[in-house]
Amino acid sequence: MQRKIEVCLTPALLDLYAIEESIVVVIDILRATSSMVYGIDNGAEAIIPVAQVEDCLNFSGKGYLLAAERNGEVVEGYDFGNSPFSYTKEKVAGKTIVLTTTNGTKALHLARARASKVVIGSFLNLEVLCTWLKAQDKNVLLLCAGWKDQFNLEDTLFAGAVVHQLKANFDHFDDSSVAAEDLYILAKEDLRQYIAKSSHSHRLAALNIEEDVKFCLQLDLCKAIPVLEGERLVLLK
Amino acid sequence: MQRKIEVCLTPALLDLYAIEESIVVVIDILRATSSMVYGIDNGAEAIIPVAQVEDCLNFSGKGYLLAAERNGEVVEGYDFGNSPFSYTKEKVAGKTIVLTTTNGTKALHLARARASKVVIGSFLNLEVLCTWLKAQDKNVLLLCAGWKDQFNLEDTLFAGAVVHQLKANFDHFDDSSVAAEDLYILAKEDLRQYIAKSSHSHRLAALNIEEDVKFCLQLDLCKAIPVLEGERLVLLK
């Protein structure tokens, strides 16, 4: 079959895409999907993304780890937020994490409602994700979580990295995939420096999470692809 | 005052921006805003953008030129569509044109409802537009008309060209203005070749309007900036 790649630059545009037969890759590089990949790679049994901070509380006292981030910070009273350093083997192996984040979980829920399959992408699992996408007989939509429905650079760069790797195996590309790939090619020698231009980067700098940003921009640290099964993200096998 | 430039990549995202105190530049390079600039530059008294093809009919038989485009083609029974070659001095000088197009007029109406001022941009009036924007004490939102609410390359490239010229005079830039400028820098040596990568270009190629595309990518052919006064686009004086 002829296959296409499209890039949805923010969740606010998702309604424009027919994804019923597509694989949707959810992308929230700083930091939700990077941490999801790292957590599942480190043996977390599952991650349950929920929409509201209050939804996390329903899982309280039942053996779950509760993670809640809003506007870049851990919500008071929660085990942790979305820093990847909270998703190490020691902390998450064998555990199920209930997580809510500003942008990433919203994008996940929108995708889940319609897509054929939903997986999680980040620079940490770029290679294994692309190898798997090439082997499927499906169209691919790369869904950037953005920042409060606005375009952001880091998610777009990752979408561009995927387009760059998949290009030879696909037939059709929309304008946003062309733009995303060209921005990635421009940025790839030094992603950190390029992302320093972004508004989100300024926001994150103010939160002292420079180490998180560096961590999330590492290539191919992980072999895991988290996939949505029902309402749980689990290891794709 | 500190001034910011933002780029709204499609009209579907316009609600995310506070534009009540801003100048909004509406951009629909292929071909609506190019033709508007060319028409006003050639002495058209005014251009009235209307939302629906049927709305044009209300102006029938009253001395107006009626222009209607849908999906790239002139609607049957109308004087012309949005090819710039229909907006020559011979055809439009002293006339008022009632115009509806697939994307451009929609973006105009959305902007008009909230913005402090709405002007029209195209490569044809890039220089004069940027000189004027620099001299205003206002934030600027560059509104790409896109294609049916989706991102497109040519409108984004023009937004990037404006960002490139205004950069030294403004203080804040959102992520989409960073991306648009970098894409413009990448493309500027040969805009035509770069735009050939776009989906819209394929659509337009099928319509045999290669000459229109070339025309719309010329720099600084015009001195006019069309500005919205009430429901009419007129020459900014």
Contact B156/A149, CB-based, under 8 Å?
no
- All residues of chain B having their beta carbon less than 8 Å from the beta carbon of residue A176 are 150-151
Given the structure tokens 């509760």, which residue do they identify?
Answer: A66
Give the pLDDT confidence of B122-161 residue by residue, as tens digits.
Answer: 999 999 999 999 999 999 999 999 999 999 999 999 999 9
Tell whether B148 is within 8 A of chain A (Cβ): yes
The span from the CA of A212 to the CA of A165, in Å, is 25
What's the confidence (pLDDT) of residue B201? 65
What distance in Å separates residue B173's CA from the closest CA in chain A? 8
Q: Which residue in A136, A137, A69, A123 sits closest to A97, CA to CA?
A: A69
Query: Tokens at residue B183, please?
Result: 């894409």
What distance in Å separates residue B236's CA from the closest CA in chain A? 31
Query: Tokens at residue A29, please?
Result: 């590089």
Give the pLDDT confidence of B63-89 residue by residue, as tens digits.
Answer: 999 999 888 888 888 888 889 999 999
Q: Which residues contact B30 (CB under 8 A, 6 or more apart)?
A: B154, B200, B204, B212, B213, B216
Contact B150/A12, CB-based, under 8 Å?
no
Q: Is the pLDDT of residue B199 over 80?
A: no
Tell whether B171 is within 8 A of chain A (Cβ): no
Tell whether B174 is within 8 A of chain A (Cβ): yes
Give the pLDDT confidence of A72-95 residue by residue, as tens digits.
Answer: 888 888 888 889 999 999 999 999
Alpha helices in B62-103 (DSSP H): 89-92
> Are A231 and A100 in contact, with CB atoms under 8 Å apart?
no
More confident residue, B102 or B149: B149
Alpha-carbon dihedral of residues B14, B18, B20, B22, nearest 10 degrees? -90
Q: Is the pLDDT of residue A56 over 70?
A: yes
Query: Tokens at residue A162, please?
Result: 């995927």
> Are B25 and B162 in contact, with CB atoms under 8 Å apart?
yes
* Chain A / chain B CB contacts < 8 angstroms: 74
Give the pLDDT confidence of A66-77 residue by residue, as tens digits.
Answer: 999 888 888 888
The span from the CA of B106 to the CA of B109, in Å, is 5
Q: Is the pLDDT of residue B54 over 90?
A: no
Q: Is the pLDDT of residue B200 over 70?
A: no
What's the confidence (pLDDT) of residue A208? 67
Q: Say yes or no: domain A4-231 is CATH 3.90.1560.10.
A: yes
Q: Is A168 helix (H, G, I), strand (E, B) or coil?
A: helix
Q: What percent of chain B clears pLDDT 90, i.e. is strictly above it?
A: 79
Give the pLDDT confidence of B210-231 residue by residue, as tens digits.
Answer: 899 999 999 999 999 999 999 9
Nearest residue of B to residue A10, measured between CA atoms = B13
What distance in Å separates residue A8's CA from the closest CA in chain B? 9
Residue A194 pLDDT class (50, 70, 90 cuts): very high
- All residues of chain A having their beta carbon less than 8 Å from the beta carbon of residue B183 are 179, 182-183
Query: Tokens at residue B110, please?
Result: 């959305």
> Are A18 and A4 in contact, with CB atoms under 8 Å apart?
no
Given the structure tokens 């909270």, which residue do they identify?
Answer: A86
What letter does residue B20 receive in the DSSP assignment? Answer: T
> Is 0.90 surpassed by the pTM of this model?
yes
Contact B12/A16, CB-based, under 8 Å?
yes
Tell whether B177 is within 8 A of chain A (Cβ): no
Contact B179/A179, CB-based, under 8 Å?
yes
Neighbours of A14 (CB within 10 A): 18
Given the structure tokens 């290009």, which residue do they identify?
Answer: A167
* Least confident span in A111-120, A195-204, B50-59: A195-204
Q: Is the pLDDT of residue A25 over 90?
A: yes
| Residue A139 C-beta-side C-alpha neighbours within 13 Å | 18
* Average pLDDT, integer, range B100-119: 92
Region of B47 on the Ramachandran plot (φ > 0 left; ψ -120 to 50 alpha; else beta): beta
Q: Is the pLDDT of residue B25 over 90?
A: yes
Give the pLDDT confidence of A122-174 residue by residue, as tens digits.
Answer: 999 999 999 999 999 999 999 999 999 999 999 999 999 999 999 999 999 99
